[in-house]
A and B are shown apart, each in its own frame.
Chain A
Amino acid sequence: MVKQLSNWGNYPILDCDESSFTQEEQLTQYVNTHDHIIARGNGRCYGDASLGEHSISTLRYDKVLQFDTENGIFECQAGITLDQVLAITVPRGWFLPVTPGTKFITIGGAVASDVHGKNHHAEGSFSNHVITMDVLTGVGFMSCSPENNPDLFWATCGGMGLTGIITKVQFRLKKIETAYIRQKQIKAENLDEIIRLFDEYKDYTYSMAWIDCLKKGKNFGRSILIVGEHATKEELSDKQKAAPLLLPDKLKLTIPFNLPSFVLNNFTVKAFNMLYYAKNYKKEMNGVVPYEPFFYPLDAIHHWNRGYGKQGFVQYQFVLPIDRKEGLAAIMHRISDKGWGSFLAVLKVFGKQDDLISFPMEGYTLALDFPVRKGLFPFLDELDALVLEYGGKLYLSKDARMQQEVFWKSYPNAERFANIINTYNPVGKFRSVQSDRLLITKP
């Protein structure tokens, strides 16, 4: 049925025909009888990547098929969400190998965006942990892995649904002793200090920083580095030790938020503020916290995205090569001069990754929100020019507005990617509003 759909940024809102399936045959039949199809997981990409004439929802295709608890191998249908996976695996001592900042995405979405987490520098992106998967391509069902049909595999990881519909994924989990994280938070006065801290703490598995993109002068780039490790049993408090793999009930009320106040300024959601204590804020803070607030601080507030109002917002996330950190300062200066950046900006350092079309590459990545308003898109075009100048690129999963030249110039393998798409999706059956906009598929 045709309805108005939008993803997390509430921009754009488009008329799409959305249907779902619970059995493989229903999906095959649908694909055989429709054109202009794009898979849609939980709509947590920000822009138009999972919107199209026919968006096919995978959410009802959510069955767990295998869980080898000895070796930590998990196999499931692509529509299961990460929070469901965690509910099954954590109590048995296994964790997702990579997780983004929200647990409300599907496994299919994790592969199609090849998501990264706070451990990218240490453990790579999601696709690095995929063993094998099944894809309904434009030429039928196919299995693929790094060894078997590798071109399909690498064009599907980060390929934004353009090779077809991912139906099943088998991936490796990570062993944990407890459901807790030993976390350390360190305040940085400015950009130079935070970059130095990232380097100093690079041995931590997890790291990211909340950064203030609006502050000028000597506090330009003030931020807070958050690093963590899965806690061992010995590191837990006596209370936590009683059930090391189970989270306390009523977690939402006990979140020990330690985000600095600039993270939340002009944030409309009061609940968040209530949970948060900016008081007692010290240079360095240590603690052992449940994994949820560590990985998913924003999930505690459903629909915080609505705080931006009817016009919606776009998230702007770029990555710059590791040796071009002057670009980071240049772009942040532009943003702070304009005064339009968000309260919510995340800075992270990626480790090495050099594959077909996924976003991560060794360097600095910054993500921030911009409410949609007059003049925003021309301004972002200016930022794009800087990103290009410094050899960087934008994250397709957050994009809703980049011009096609920017994509073709910044993704070094764009041409090869498009050719592989031509093999597996020869008549452009699978296409999104985004892929048409970027001319990866022909509108």
Chain B
Amino acid sequence: MMIPTVLILGAGSDMAVAIARKFAANNYAIQLAARKPELLHAQEQDLRIRHNVAVTSHGFDALDFESHVSFFQSLPVKPDVVICVFGYLGDQEKGQNDWQEASRILHTNYTGAVSILNVVAEDMAARKTGTIIGISSVAGDRGRMSNYLYGSAKAGFTAYLSGLRNRLFHAGVHVMSVQPGFVNTRMTEGLTLPPLLTAQPEEVANDIFKAASKKKNVVYSKWFWRYIMLIITSIPEFIFKKLKL
């Protein structure tokens, strides 16, 4: 059997490290892509030694939209699975009156993701095979005062993924959206997170792998976030706006 390949976009994050290990443990060849590929050397070696799989690293900048086509064309092998892990939490308060920050949040989480996945989608649609996995966020399920810039970009990404799923279904390509809640990563290190609601990157990676093998459409990680968000989205707006969330 052919060895499948997974492309991980935004490979340096903690979540990406865990996802790469999970796929490598299941005998996928790994393509790591990040802004500074020279920093991926240790991670490359780590995956090879732990799991005895082929690993390559590639330069990829989510904000350099122009480069996305040539980036994808330059890959040595076309991936069977593409996982869009990159994201930028940013600083909500700063972004409120600093367009630089706001646009970085929006473009990283939304435009950049759309730009590269459009390219991937065309390729997979033509080949009539493949899986696209987008890591969105529960923050996109409802805007809150504390992070609506990030949340709105993720909301857009979530809608994009569901539309893409609808379109590519007819081409035999599977699209899965992942909605993690709080995850214990370097990105969230400065935040106070409720321990019971916070997942470890390894748990999210396991959830993703399992759900992708079962061709799930939408997965929440941890699973109860689906119900938490169900409650949060059903609070009437006239009450919701009074809350300080």
Contacts and interface: CB of A to CB of B under 8 A. Distances in A.
Interface string A66-93: 1100000000010000001001100000
Nearest to A74: B49
Interface stretch (A57-65, A125-133, A357-365): A57-65
B236 interface: no
Given A22-B14, A65-B45, A77-B42, A60 B50 contact: no
A64 B12 CA distance: 15
A33 interface: no
B46 interface: yes
A23 interface: yes
Nearest to A21: B186
Nearest to A18: B189
The B contact surface, by secondary structure, is helix
A307 B216 CA distance: 41
Contacts, number: 35
B186 A65 contact: no
Contact of B192 (A1, A21, A65, A77): A1
B198 to A, nearest CB: 13
A22 B192 contact: no
Given A22-B14, A60-B14, A77-B42, A67 B49 contact: yes
Contacts of B189: 1, 19-20
Given A22-B14, A88-B49, A60 B42 contact: no
A252 to B, nearest CB: 18
A20 B186 CA distance: 7
A63 B42 contact: yes
A63 B18 CA distance: 12
B186 A22 contact: yes
A84 B42 CA distance: 16
A224 to B, nearest CB: 37
Interface residues of B, number: 15
Max count, chain B CB within 10 A of own CB: residue among A63, A66, A88: A63
Contacts of A64: 45-46, 49-50
Contacts of A65: 42, 45-46
Contacts of A88: 49-50
Interface string A1-29: 10000000000000000011111000000
A63 B39 contact: no
A296 to B, nearest CB: 20
B46 A23 contact: no
Interface string B15-51: 0010000000000000000000001001101100110
A66 B41 CA distance: 12
A23 B186 CA distance: 12
Interface string A111-135: 0000000000000000000000000
Contacts of B17: 22
Interface in B168-215: 186, 189-192
B1 to A, nearest CB: 22
Contact of A1 (B49, B50, B190): B190
Nearest to B51: A88
Given A1-B189, A19-B189, A63 B14 contact: no
B215 to A, nearest CB: 26
B14 A66 contact: no
B86 to A, nearest CB: 15
Contacts of A60: 14, 186
A341 to B, nearest CB: 33
B202 to A, nearest CB: 11
Interface string B142-163: 0000000000000000000000
A283 B17 CA distance: 50
Nearest to B185: A60
B12 A22 contact: yes
Contacts of A84: 50
Contact of A66 (B12, B45, B50, B192): B45
Interface string B76-106: 0000000000000000000000000000000
A55 to B, nearest CB: 12
B192 A63 contact: no
A62 B49 CA distance: 13
A41 B186 CA distance: 16
Contacts of B42: 63, 65, 77
A84 B192 CA distance: 28
Contacts of B186: 20-22, 60
B38 to A, nearest CB: 11
A1 B191 CA distance: 7
7 contacts: A19-B189, A22-B14, A60-B186, A66-B49, A87-B50, A88-B49, A88-B50
Interface of A: 1, 19-23, 60, 62-67, 77, 84, 87-88
In the A-B complex, the 9 residue pairs with the smallest Cβ-Cβ separation, listed nearest first, are A63-B46, A63-B42, A64-B49, A67-B49, A64-B46, A1-B190, A65-B45, A88-B50, A23-B39
Given A63-B45, A65-B46, 6 more contacts: A20-B186, A20-B189, A22-B17, A63-B42, A64-B49, A65-B45
